[in-house]
Structure 1
Amino acid sequence: MNIYFQNTYQRTFGTFPLTGAELRDSMAIAAEIGYRSFDTAQMYENEKETGDALAEISLKRDEMCVTTKVHPDNFSDDAFLPSVEESLKKLRLDYVDVLLLHWPPIGGDIAPSLKLLEQAHAKGLAKNIGVSNYTAQMMRDAVKIIETPIVSNQVEFHPLLNQDVLLAAASETGIPLSSYCSVARGEVFKHPIFAEIGQGYGKTAGQVVLRWILQKGVPINTMSTKRANIQANFDVMDFILSNVDMDRIDAMTQVGYRIVTEDLVPWAPDWD
């Protein structure tokens, strides 16, 4: 991933669970504000609408960083590449900038889907490849299975969940993390510490949370339908949290609030 996309990927506009006019309008606002990285997935069932919205936004192709993810149901030899080609058709693109495996396969054998992902890259269907919801051990195994660089492991990452094991694995393997559920689906706002810290910087609780994630070295993926929130989520590059405030927020990870479990998604692995 080149420097432009590394910088662009720091702030991604997520599309889940948006559809229809709500998706189109939100993406248009995001692009107007400055977002150039957009995230969708086969599982979201909004790739076509995302593609329509991208066409309406009329950005140059080399200005956009588009991510989609392959559904585990398509991890078979006969379904994988056709599913990616169908995603590209829906997105109106010749390639995606980042193609992720959305979940580890049930059963735990990650090798077949990783090799299919590498094939998609070799065929030019994706500029970069990555994974999502991989454990630390899966990350260590993945770099031994394929040679193509893995540019992201997109995982639940917010200050109410300790992900130090994954951060250590990222350092060890060279697979960067990226964040979804960055504000824990609103759970962070139940804790006054984030707003209190924000007062010292002239920032909101949400902006403090997002800045903490970025300072942990993890790109953020956020979604909103409201212009003010989309703008606020974007405006997180003009301040730096002090070491003291970073430590205060680090302590909040002991809350242990995890959203994505096997109860919610059958592909969720045994987390670290």
Structure 2
Amino acid sequence: MTIYFEKTYQRSFGTFPLTGQELHDAVLAAAEVGYRAFDTAQMYGNEADTGAALRATGLSRDELCITTKVDIANFSEEAFLPSVEESLKKLMIDQADVLLLHWPTPGGDIRLSLELLQQAHDRGLARHIGVSNYTAQMMHDARAIVDAPLVTNQVEFHPLLNQDKLLTAATETGIPLASYCSVARGEVFKHAIFGEIGETYGKSAAQVVLRWILQKGVSINTMSTNPANIAANFDVMDFTLSSIDMARIEDMTRTGYRIVGKDLVPYAPDFD
């Protein structure tokens, strides 16, 4: 079982697009309710703020799982490792718990960035490594290129988008998925079904969505600045959706609502 599927780390607190005092307050609220996994990235421009906020929680380093991601601008032999070292300096840590490639290399040649990621792992800059926004074929290719286990492929994952091809690739490659945009940036709340199912369990629509993701075998990454929502997003381990409700939600994936595509990120791959 990888670090992303150990119980403590199935629920990660995302920091995008927070900075400054807003990020500080949100991280402290998240830590208070029990979050121990925190997610940032070079691209977010908030690694230093995240590091300072995590230091302010008073939690020991051993209690935390800190994920950061390497920007595609640093996917060269000259820039990659120095950029990781700079990230660690900003985060005030000696080693990332999980280091991801934020995107596949534009153009599709992923080998060099993966080899550099492996070097970061081999040099002790990262305890675990993984990828983000990889297609199913890229997951297979990455598994063949990298010697160290890849602990996750962090992708857009919510019940308004069918990601069965990625789930199949996760099983075939042993690379688990982790979600971002877990509530589709609020789009799920436009569909009454999630709230209706939630009433059966005494849970909110958001909690139903997050629980569905977990029961699909995907870890969740959520962000909020509202302390009540932060706590609610964490409180999703004390109920189990029935097979009937899982199927009802599964049917919603036919909606085909994708947030992150080429219109938003021009260098995004051709997603499955």
Which of the five TM-score ranges fits, normalised by the shorter chain? over 0.9
- Please give the alpha-carbon distance, in whole angstroms, between the structure 2 residues aligned to 1:5 and 1:242: 21
Assess if the C-alpha contact under 8 Å between 2:14 and 2:222 holds in 1: yes
In structure 2, the partner of 1:142 is 142
1:6 to partner: Cα distance:
2.3
Q: 2-side partners of 1:124 and 1:42: how far apart? A: 19
What is the distance in 2 between the residues matched to 1:64 and 1:204?
28
Alignment of 1:66-85 (within 5 A): 66-85=66-85
Provide the C-alpha distance between the structure 1 equivalents of 2:208 and 2:71, rounded to a whole number of angstroms: 33
C-alpha distance in structure 2 between counterparts of 1:7 and 1:85, whole Å? 29
Is 2:42 aligned against 1:32?
no
Q: Which residue of 2 aligns with 1:174?
A: 174
| Cα distance in 1 between the residues matched to 2:233 and 2:239 | 13
Q: Deviations over 1:11-50 (max 9, x none)?
A: 0000000011000000000000000000000000000000
SS state at 1:115 partner? helix
Amino acid in structure 2 at the alignment position of 1:156: E
Name the residue aligned to 1:206. 206
Aligned partners of 1:148, 1:97: CA distance in 2, in Å?
Answer: 14
Q: Is 2:163 aligned against 1:163?
A: yes
* CA deviations over 1:76-101 (Å, ceiling 9, x no partner): 00000000000000000000100000
Which one-letter code corresponds to 2:219 in the other structure?
A: P
> 1:146-200 CA distances to partner (integer Å, 9 max, x unpaired)?
1110000000000000000000000000000000000000000000000000000
TM-score of the superposed pair, with normalisation by structure 2: 0.98
Q: Quick one: which amino acid aligns to residue 119 of structure 1?
A: Q
Please report the RMSD computed on the Cα atoms of aligned residues, expressed in angstroms: 1.1
Matched, 1:112 2:112: yes
| Offset, 1:263 | 1.1
Aligned to 1:194: 194
Distance 2:271 2:5 in 1: 29
Query: In structure 2, what is the equivalent of residue 245 of structure 1?
Result: 245
* TM-score, L = length of structure 1: 0.98
Unaligned runs of 5+ in 1: none
Query: Could you tell which deviates more after superposition, 4-13 or 244-253?
Result: 4-13
In 2, are the aligned partners of 1:5 and 1:65 still within 8 Å (CA)? no
Correspondences of 1:35-74 after superposition (within 5 Å): 35-74=35-74
Using the TM superposition, give the Cα deviation of residue 58 of structure 1 relative to its aligned residue in structure 2, in angstroms: 1.4
The alpha-carbon distance between structure 1 residues 5 and 189, as it changes in their structure 2 partners (threshold 3 A), is closer
Task: Answer whether contact 1:8 1:65 (CA < 8 A) is retained.
Answer: no
Q: Aligned letter for 2:85?
A: E
Sequence identity percentage: 72
Distance of 1:5 and 1:191 partners within structure 2? 29
How far apart are the structure 2 equivalents of 1:145 and 1:250? Answer: 33
User: What corresponds to 1:99 in structure 2?
Assistant: 99
Per the alignment, do residues 66 and 142 of structure 1 end up closer, same or farther by CA in structure 2, a change over 3 Å counting? same
Unmatched runs of 5 consecutive residues or more in structure 2: none
2:174 and 2:195 map into 1 onto residues whose CA distance is 33
Query: Does structure 1 conserve the Cα–Cα contact (< 8 Å) formed by 2:3 and 2:151?
Result: no
Quick one: distance in 1 between partners of 2:113 and 2:267?
A: 14
> Is the Cα contact below 8 Å between 2:182 and 2:221 reproduced in 1?
yes
Q: Give the match for residue 234 of structure 1.
A: 234
Report the AA paired with residue 174 of structure 1: G
